[in-house]
Amino acid sequence: MTSEQLPKGRIYVAGHRGMVGAAVVRHLQQLGINDDDLITRDRSELNLIRQADVESFFDAERPDVVVFAAAKVGGIHANNTYPAEFIYDNLMMAANAIHAAYRFGTARFLFLGSTCIYPRMAPQPMPEDCLLTGPLESTNEAYALAKISGLKLCEHYRTQYGVKFHSAMPTNLYGPGDNYHPENSHVMPAMIRRFHEAVRDGLDEVVVWGTGTPRREFLHVDDLARGLIHLVNLDQPPNLVNVGTGTDISIRELAELIAETTGFDGKISQDTSKPDGTPVKRTNIDLIKSTGWQPRIDLETGVRKTYEDFLRASQSGALRAV
């Protein structure tokens, strides 16, 4: 089976209101999933931090497959400002869902993390086996520790109980449904909004955080969705696998690409008083490529499509900024 085939059984997509979960739902719908086989709950219907609520849900619904895209996420500013919330919320969501899935017979559980789980000075490109070989990046340590705990829960439940619980670590993501909050968003949506507003307001300069020298890898969320369904369909998936493009771009080069895409022709300056975060971050995707998956959407095309989605969402009042 491949990412182009629908997994068997009832599928619970946790976090379907977020960028990743929404992309997974779109892909499943494109593959022809029946409404009765697609299970979703928003936060008002199911609080994943409450163990009793999670266990009641799994007992009632008995999903065959779980794609766990629920998380409390944010950029450098949010991670620095709310570390207690990041570690507690993400730990509790992971532990509650993984244990309830085991208790109530879920056959397949795919846990989503992030490549921030790898050491700050990890070898580049980052292989899966560099996990826990060095200190984490301090700016997102709380989130990373929670995600490491989740993937280790899956690994140890698989070892002890024989369940197919496994994890995928996406690189930096972008695409439809991203969060465009001016302070709490990631670098790509923050730049898209900043350059768009500069054009709208007739500004002649945009200031970008940091030196512009850090290099980052970006994966379109629709490519990730295909990758996740591909992994769910594998008979023997890896315990942990990177999902990325294997290529990177400097923050300065990204700013220039977004400026071009949005039509900004003014000056781009760097605020070097702001933190850079990890110097270089690129995944080794040899493992997932060996299973038959690879990305399809190049960065220039992806940024253009993402900006078009940003414009539609802005005009319709549906832009996420939380």
pLDDT tens, position by position, 272-287: 998 887 788 899 999 9
* Residues 188-203 pLDDT 10s: 999 999 999 999 999 9
54 carries a ligand binding annotation: no
Distance CA 153, CA 160 (A): 10
Q: Indicate the DSSP class of residue 12.
A: E
pTM summary value: 0.94
Mean pLDDT (the chain, rounded): 94
Give 320's pLDDT tier (boundaries 50, 70, 90): confident
What local confidence, expressed as pLDDT, does residue 3 receive? 54
Degrees (nearest 5) of the Cα angle 20, 53, 97? Answer: 45
Any residues with CB less than 8 A from the CB of 159 and at least 6 apart, and which? Answer: none
237 carries a ligand binding annotation: no
For the chain, the C-alpha Rg in angstroms (whole number) is 19
Nearest by Cα to 143 from 186, 180, 191: 186
What local confidence, expressed as pLDDT, does residue 182 receive? 77
Give 1's pLDDT tier (boundaries 50, 70, 90): very low
245 carries a ligand binding annotation: no
Q: Please, are residues 154 and 123 in contact by the beta-carbon 8 Å criterion?
A: no
* Residues 204-221 pLDDT 10s: 999 998 999 999 999 999
- Torsion (CA) 239, 245, 251, 252 in degrees, nearest 10: 170
Specify the length of the chain in residues: 322
**Residue for token pair 């549906």:** 318
Residues annotated catalytic, as ranges: 143
16 carries a ligand binding annotation: yes
What local confidence, expressed as pLDDT, does residue 281 receive? 85
Any residues with CB less than 8 A from the CB of 147 and at least 6 apart, and which? Answer: 71, 90, 94, 113, 114, 116, 117
Distance CA 318, CA 305 (A): 16
Distance CA 106, CA 213 (A): 44
What local confidence, expressed as pLDDT, does residue 77 receive? 77
SS3 for 240? strand
Mean pLDDT lowest among 20-24, 121-125, 138-142, 178-182: 178-182
